[in-house]
Amino acid sequence: MTAMLLLQHASARQLREPMVKRSALPPPPAEGSAPNDDTTTPRTLIERAYTQLRDDIVEGRIAPGEKLRVEHLRARYDVSAGTLREALNRLVSDALVEAEGQRGFRVTPITVQDLDDLTDLRVRIEIEALRQSIRHANESWRQELQQVYTQMSAFEQPILPDLIQRWEALNTQFHELLVANCGSAWTVRLLRILNRHSERYRRYAIDLGKGRRNVHMEHHGIFEAAMAGNEFRAALELEAHIRATPELLKAAAREGIDIFRASPESSAQVRLTREGMKAPHHAP
């Protein structure tokens, strides 16, 4: 079901793009503010609102299932209602937001069933893409992979709370680079969408995984196999890596942690409180 929805949303989003470009002019500046210049176009405002909303959803600052009230969000993101609705419609295309007809919008919930569906789809697509990419590997690709892996490694031994955003960006770059030679732009595009949804779950799993998994060693196994051209070994390492997050979250749920209701920070607090420790502070 998730696979079908994502493909439909991706197609629908491309069809809507011309409509976005013809959006109404932005509202006049608020009293006392500087006049708007030519660089702040309607497209720029929509992109900014879209990016900020997307990041707040993916990083858990707006909770799964939360009602998105346009009148409240206007002040939060400092845009007009029309611009905000354009951004929300783009997020519907990304399957990060659900449209509820006349009732408005709501953040797409996260569930164990959705996580399993997402994981299975990602395994099927990303592993084959990795194997194809390794078959078409060249020296330039290996050098770039080495560079990104080295940079990422510096941020994940361990992953510090204040550097999660930087690590996440490098983690995304590493996974995208692994499949960059697969020869299919649609595969890369779809994997980018799947990775963004996976990040929602990773945010809940990072602190839960402390002492239970070694993300750096998982990446090391994938990297070494890919650099050696061993596509079979790389595929095994990648599948184990992708499936580690859902297994960790389901294990936490079996321990009584209601991870899909709490924020990522409060999920960590529950675990650490049981261990007699204090949860680390996360960057806003």
Predicted TM-score (pTM) of the model is 0.73
Q: Tens digit of pLDDT for each residue in 179-196?
A: 999 999 999 999 999 998
Candidates 171, 192, 181, 195; CA nearest to 128 is 181
Q: How far apart are the first and last CA of the chain?
A: 33
Assign a CATH topology to domain 2-107: Arc Repressor Mutant, subunit A (1.10.10)
Q: Tens digit of pLDDT for each residue in 200-247?
A: 888 888 767 666 788 999 999 999 999 999 999 999 999 999 999 999
- CA–centroid distance for 150 within its chain: 22
Q: Could you tell me where in the chain the CATH 1.20.120.530 domains are found?
A: 112-274
Residue 264 has pLDDT above 60, yes or no: no
Q: Could you tell me where in the chain the CATH 1.10.10.10 domains are found?
A: 2-107
Dihedral in degrees, nearest 10, Cα atoms 71, 200, 148, 231:
-140
pLDDT at 100: 87
Provide the pLDDT confidence category of residue 19 given band limits of 50, 70 and 90.
Answer: very low
What is the C-alpha separation between 272 and 28, in angstroms, rounded?
Answer: 49
Over residues 61-72, the mean pLDDT reads 91
DSSP state of 156: B
Higher pLDDT, 172 or 157: 172
pLDDT at 173: 95
pLDDT at 157: 80
DSSP3 helix / strand / coil % (the chain, rounded to 5): 65, 5, 30
Dihedral in degrees, nearest 10, Cα atoms 14, 20, 21, 24:
170
pLDDT at 263: 53
Assign a CATH topology to domain 112-274: Four Helix Bundle (Hemerythrin (Met), subunit A) (1.20.120)
Q: Tens digit of pLDDT for each residue in 84-136?
A: 999 999 999 999 999 987 778 999 998 889 999 999 999 999 999 999 999 99
